Amino acid sequence: MRTLCLSLALTLVIPAAFAQTNNPNNPTWWDKYQYLVKNGAMDGGTATSSTAAGANIDVSNECGPQSETYITINTANARQLAAGSNEIFRDPMRGYWSADGGKSWGGVDLPLPAPIGANGIRFGSDPTLAFDSRGNLFYGYIVVFFGGGNGVNGSEMAVARSADGGRTYPFANFFSFSGGSDHFNDKPMITADANINSPFRDNVYIAWDAASGGSTGGGVRVARSSDHGVTFDVTRADDPQGPGRSIGAVPFVGPNGEVYLAWNDYAANTIAFSRSFDGGATWEPQRVIASKQIPFDIRIPAEFNRGALVYPSCDADRSKGAHRGRLVCSWMDLAGNGTTDILTSYSDDNGSTWSLSKSATDALPFAVDRFNHWLSLDPTNGVVNVSFYDTRNDTTGARYMTDIYLSRSSDGGASFAPNVRASDVSSNEHDCDGLFPCSAINYGNQQGDYSGLVAYGGIAHPVWTDSRRNRDTVSGCSVPAMEEVFTTSVK
């Protein structure tokens, strides 16, 4: 979910090609809000089970569209995976769990607080998940409150906890409420320190951007918990004197409990970075990983409506290999031919300096867009894995159709092997090929802002939004399956 404050339009001069798709009058979640106001929340929420589709697995396998996916793995039990997604026609977040290494999945709803006021509406958005070293699973998301059709009443953070691998979430912590739309909690990402010998073992860190209409408010916030998610202390990690115009903050943990944070500073047009060596209590002044060309997002053909968002995805090498301690980050930016590509950079000195950015994707002789990437560094072998949407298999001639591809580096991000296709059917989120009324599917949501990836034991598990079932009927449903959550295992 994204909002963009009015102050941005007054302070950034952005070329038409980079025009943001978000503003206070038309945020990307507005379609969902309007659907809920007009139709109410769609029935659902019962337990679901996945279904196989060739080499790919339909994880969600339920009525209506889902999008914006995330996945994690329990390093103490690698057969246990957990994932999450947004529900588009329903209020709660959706959680998914697997106890057999991703071969089959179950689905469950996440808890929500009560609405605010009479006739209020609230829903969850922006899934993010992490296991700690003891097998506790933490699911982070935001809750957005609306009041009787009168717009945003406020937003807050949520972290739910599961002790059974994601089958149930009996506990949830709701915190950092901000009233109105001037300050808006958005796009959280969570991690846990699962290093057995770390002085901050099992600390939980969740970072987000607090969008602000003021000159110095908002900024990048980080909440840490040292009591398994019962309480959180919140700090600001970016320049406290800065304008607070950032999005896409991602925390990640080094092999000795170091806490790192990267985000898109769209005012400075950089991928920014900070670090903490005291378990997230304090943060050093922000640094720069790389400058970039696209400030915030870009309307590429495959995401013509929503726009593809610029954000970093990062991880640290916690393996026992030659690059232990190396930090690697990826992000989207323009390619030389005006399309979008996924770039990477690495650091061997705890983020003090970074390598020159380079592409993680195949060089092809025709125009291809890459977007909605994620990066996961396998802690068992040090291999860098990057997943992304890719339009190379498009048959429309307009870069509408997408697949999920995987790129891997066995030398810590210095070079990447040829990309591997993970999806076995292409998706088209741009149009309906004339086979189904476009008004019947929420194409305004499209793929969402991100898709997840986790790698462990030499196996990568990407998870993504997939439209191959957008016309399928589902038993007991008043609408087709539409966009579904898909995954696969890549060795």
Q: Which residue bears the tokens 């970072």?
A: 207
CATH number of the CATH domain containing 165:
2.120.10.10
List the beta strands (DSSP E) in 99-136.
106-109, 120-131
Token readout for 69 is 């996916």
Whether 40 is covered by a domain: the verdict is yes
Q: pLDDT truncated to tens, each residue of the chain (491 aa)?
A: 654 332 222 223 333 444 445 443 445 666 677 777 777 788 787 888 999 978 999 999 998 889 999 999 999 999 999 999 999 889 999 999 999 999 999 999 999 999 988 778 899 999 999 999 999 999 999 999 987 666 788 899 999 999 999 999 999 999 999 887 666 889 999 999 999 999 999 999 999 998 754 444 568 999 999 999 999 999 999 987 766 789 999 999 999 999 999 999 998 999 999 999 999 999 999 999 999 999 999 999 998 878 899 999 999 999 999 999 999 999 999 998 889 999 999 999 999 999 999 999 999 999 999 999 999 999 999 999 999 999 999 998 999 999 999 999 999 999 999 999 999 999 988 765 545 455 545 556 788 899 999 999 999 999 999 988 887 887 778 788 888 999 999 99
Query: Residue-wise over 423-460: b if at least 16 C-beta within 10 A, else e?
Result: bebbbbbbebeeeeeeeebbbbbbbbbbbbbbbbeebb
pLDDT of residue 305: 79
pLDDT of residue 5: 34
pLDDT single digits (tens) 429-449: 876 554 545 554 555 678 889
Whether 117 is covered by a domain: the verdict is yes
pLDDT single digits (tens) 467-483: 888 878 877 787 888 88
Whether 1 is covered by a domain: the verdict is no
Q: By three-state DSSP, how is residue 301 classified?
A: helix
pLDDT of residue 148: 67
Whether 344 is covered by a domain: the verdict is yes
* Nearest Cα residue to 257 out of 273, 274, 276: 276
Q: How far apart are the first and last CA of the chain?
A: 32
Q: Which residue bears the tokens 């846990």?
A: 192
C-alpha distances in Å from residue 78, one per residue of 135, 229, 252, 380: 11, 23, 19, 11
Q: In which region does residue 277 sit, left (phi positive, over 0), alpha (psi from -120 to 50) or beta (all else)? A: alpha
Whether 307 is covered by a domain: the verdict is yes
Give the CB-side neighbour count of residue 173, counting CA atoms within 13 A. 20
Number of domains observed in the structure of the chain: 1
Whether 378 is covered by a domain: the verdict is yes
pLDDT of residue 11: 28
- The range of the structural domain enclosing residue 280 comes to 6-487
Q: In which region does residue 44 sit, left (phi positive, over 0), alpha (psi from -120 to 50) or beta (all else)? A: left
Please name the residues in contact with 469: beta carbons below 8 A apart, sequence gap of 6 or more. 58, 480, 481, 482, 484
